Structure 1
Amino acid sequence: MALHVAAAPNVDAETREEYRRMYEEALGKYLGGANFILVLTGGSEPEILSAAGDYNILLAWPHYNALPAALEAASALRAMGRFVEVVQLEGPGAPPPLAKVERLVRLVDLLRRPPRLALVGAPNKWLVSSDLSGGPSLFIDEEGVYRRSLEVRAGSEAEALVAGAVESGFGTGELERPLAYAKAIREAAGDVDGLTLGCWCFDFGKVRERGWTPCISLAVLNDWGVTATCEGDLRALYSAVVLRRLSGKPAWISNVNMVTDSGLLLTHDGAPPSFGKYSIVPRMATKAVAALRVEVPPGMPITLLRVSGDLKRAVLLRGLTDVAQRVEACNTQVAVKLPDGAGRAVLKAGLGNHLAYVLDDVYEEARAYLEYLGATVVP
């Protein structure tokens, strides 16, 4: 795909070509990711429609009625079922906001290539509202992954994890098996966008048999470039994959342990180590090897998402991480400060437990994605 220029009929070819070259150079590697249309003036609506494709990004500045033309054309394109987003430029020749453009190109890629998900084993028994219409793209035999992990060495990965910890209650030898398991899962998953594992964290017999739980296995996979979540929750996994693909950063899921008018407390026995300073601690309840207690710094942007099983509804929030007042729950506890009243959306939506989150602000892109799919977004 190329960059198109749209303008009123009186704008000459030389001016059009000058701006085309300027913005082709500025957009560089992003040009192949969507159908870009640079709107120079008002009266360009017919040219915008003529140049439109299935996935469009309109660039318009607040001069010469360019932005009004882009907004008018965008309305018509949406009525045709096309995807379109309008990006406002500061003025003629001003560089495009590349961070915003990059997120929109990621959004277009997500629409073109819907998430492919894998389920390792079966969902945990307590998940009664976490299935996804159409199910996963790939089923992976958990016992096969476990047997394969016994052949894998992961001493260097375990050593690096311990070396990066603030403190560790376990040595390299004790952590090698969970990290070998992570490598075996990654191998079995192939090219899927994400995977979720029906884990044995509360199966006391299996914990005694294997001697460890896979909490750390899943946490580190996210820093290895594989979106991996717990318990076989496909709705949470889908949500995490959407956030990761929009942001380009690791995503994670957590239990909603407390809701206030303007905040949440999220808890889980782990998070990607890259989320903050971490300690390696015993797993909740079983005290087995091992969990991560990650201290997510306050003041970081955060986007949170959970979809319904039919993708027709979603709760989508954004806020800032806050200082957590710890409760009796899982080891990693993340407080989220939300706009006043937004916390009630989690209760109002009624979409289940786990919320996926990413330490980035991709709220607008996530909302555009969900609304294009026809989902009702709460709040």
Structure 2
Amino acid sequence: MRQTCLAILTSELGLNYARSLWEKISRIVEVDDVAFDGVLLPEKAGDVEQCAFRVVVIATGGTEHGVLKIVDKSSYTVLIAHRYYNSLAAALESISLLSARHIGFELRISSSEEDIAESINKAIRAYKGVLKLRSARLGLIGGVSEWLIYSRVDRELVEERIGARLIEIPMEELIESYREVGDVDTGVVMHSARSISVLIENVKNSLRLYYAVKKLINKYGLNAVSIKCFDLIKEIGVTACLALSILNTEGFPASCEGDVPLLISMSLGTWATGKPVFMGNVTYVDDGGVLLAHCTAPLIGPYELLTHFESGLSTGIRVEYPIGEKATLFRVSPDLTKIRLGVGVIEGVDWSSMLCRTQVRVKLENPLKILREPMGNHYALVLGDHYEDLYMASKNLDLAMDLV
């Protein structure tokens, strides 16, 4: 069976249009490792090979029978309709029968050729993100922080529900790796910072820890990592904040405090959207939104190097998130059966020295649900409206949707 496929469905009368449409969108579509079924007439749709995940662009009307045939050859189908050539009319007739027969599908509606291409890219990226998560090796260095009394998950459940493997690594191994790292160049990190309120030695040691973590990532073949970071402060006086900031900026999911459910959330978010993810404590909720704060964040905007909040030691990062931009808040439940998801807008916030250094307020539709139906203290945040990406990925993982 093929893994990822793409097809264009057209009537005979619309064949020239469909070919022209494919010629235009093929320049934008990211088709690496994607099997292209071709521009197909309805009678040929049943001849395609069986495929685990197929995106089907309904180019024109008169393709209803073709939709039924090609869906039958697909384990999971995303149908993309658009506003011209009776595309949506054909899609609605088709999905009405699919729904009546309880056959699964996803429908996306696009307004332009560029939008069609983007819908294809999003769908394929989300599915590839799920595939990566299912085969991922998730590193857990030092175990889980004692205060995470709810946000815990057994390695057996991770393998059973998600497919990923949890690789446990002793904290002593990270400390030994850290001590083996020599002098490091702080140039890029310090030159790019808007301001620096810590000693250069703090930054050097934080970067040494980054290279120590990278060494373990390579040694164990990890795809994501979580660190019981407060133990590092006690043992070597260095925080993992900067190391995790750089890793997440590089697109490598990295969470604090040994929070594995949040690491799974961040991994899903990073791989399904292609964007770096912020992990934050919920520090305040009202009926207008939620305030998240943490001393580490992907370096997606202007940033300052400060000390770590609780300890006053080492290096913490204050990243400025862009006010007015959309952002997606989400979290997978510790039993790995549900994802909580909400799209909001970044709002301005009066920065406080009594909170972790990066502080982000997000206006949400139903923020009080975070208090009334709690799901732990950490949430993940990614810039942009990624509802469709995460919805599609979550459906592939059989995660129930819970909106905020």
Q: TM-score range by the shorter chain?
A: 0.7 to 0.9
Secondary structure at the counterpart of residue 318 of structure 2 = strand
Change (3 A) 1:354 1:61: same
Structure 1 residues 2-41: Cα deviation after superposition (integer angstroms, max 9, x where no partner): 5434345xx2595487357536634543374452323244
Structure 1 residues 290-312: Cα deviation after superposition (integer angstroms, max 9, x where no partner): 21122223112211101112222
Aligned equivalent of 2:178: 149
Letter in 2 for 1:198: K
Provide the rounded CA distance (Å) in 2 between the counterparts of 1:32 and 1:23: 20
Aligned equivalent of 1:267: 293
Provide the rounded CA distance (Å) in 1 between the counterparts of 2:236 and 2:144: 19
Structure-1-length-normalised TM-score: 0.86
Provide the rounded CA distance (Å) in 2 between the counterparts of 1:285 and 1:207: 10
Change (3 A) 1:14 1:211: closer
Asked if 2 retains the 8 angstrom alpha-carbon contact of 1:74 and 1:84, the reply is: no
Provide the rounded CA distance (Å) in 2 between the counterparts of 1:59 and 1:376: 22
Aligned equivalent of 1:237: 263
C-alpha displacement of 1:148: 1.2
Aligned equivalent of 1:184: 212
Instruction: Pick from 327, 342, 345 the counterpart of residue 320 of structure 1.
Output: 345
Aligned equivalent of 1:98: 117
Letter in 2 for 1:86: R
Answering whether residue 141 of structure 2 is matched by residue 120 of structure 1, we say: yes
Secondary structure at the counterpart of residue 107 of structure 1 = helix
**Which ranges of structure 2 fall in alignment gaps of 5 or more residues?**
35-52, 159-164
**Which ranges of structure 1 fall in alignment gaps of 5 or more residues?**
none
Instruction: Pick from 4, 12, 25 the counterpart of residue 7 of structure 2.
Output: 4
Letter in 2 for 1:254: G
Aligned equivalent of 1:197: 227
C-alpha displacement of 1:330: 1.2
Structure 1 residues 58-78: Cα deviation after superposition (integer angstroms, max 9, x where no partner): 232334542132244346667
Q: Share of identical aligned residues, percent?
A: 27
Structure-2-length-normalised TM-score: 0.81
Aligned equivalent of 2:275: 249
Instruction: Pick from 354, 359, 371 the counterpart of residue 383 of structure 2.
Output: 359
**How many residues were matched structurally?**
366
- 1:330-369 aligned at under 5 Å gives the runs 330-339=356-365, 342-369=366-393
Change (3 A) 1:210 1:375: same
Answering whether residue 127 of structure 2 is matched by residue 108 of structure 1, we say: yes
C-alpha displacement of 1:181: 1.6
Aligned equivalent of 2:58: 39
Aligned equivalent of 2:326: 301
Structure 1 residues 110-159: Cα deviation after superposition (integer angstroms, max 9, x where no partner): 23333522211111000011123524522222211221122224622x23
Change (3 A) 1:350 1:167: same
C-alpha displacement of 1:173: 3.0
Asked if 1 retains the 8 angstrom alpha-carbon contact of 2:279 and 2:381, the reply is: yes
Identify the range of structure 1 (326-335 vs 76-85) with the bigger mean alpha-carbon deviation.
76-85
Asked if 2 retains the 8 angstrom alpha-carbon contact of 1:5 and 1:20, the reply is: no
Provide the rounded CA distance (Å) in 2 between the counterparts of 1:271 and 1:310: 26
Report the aligned-residue RMSD.
2.7
Aligned equivalent of 1:84: 106
Secondary structure at the counterpart of residue 284 of structure 2 = strand
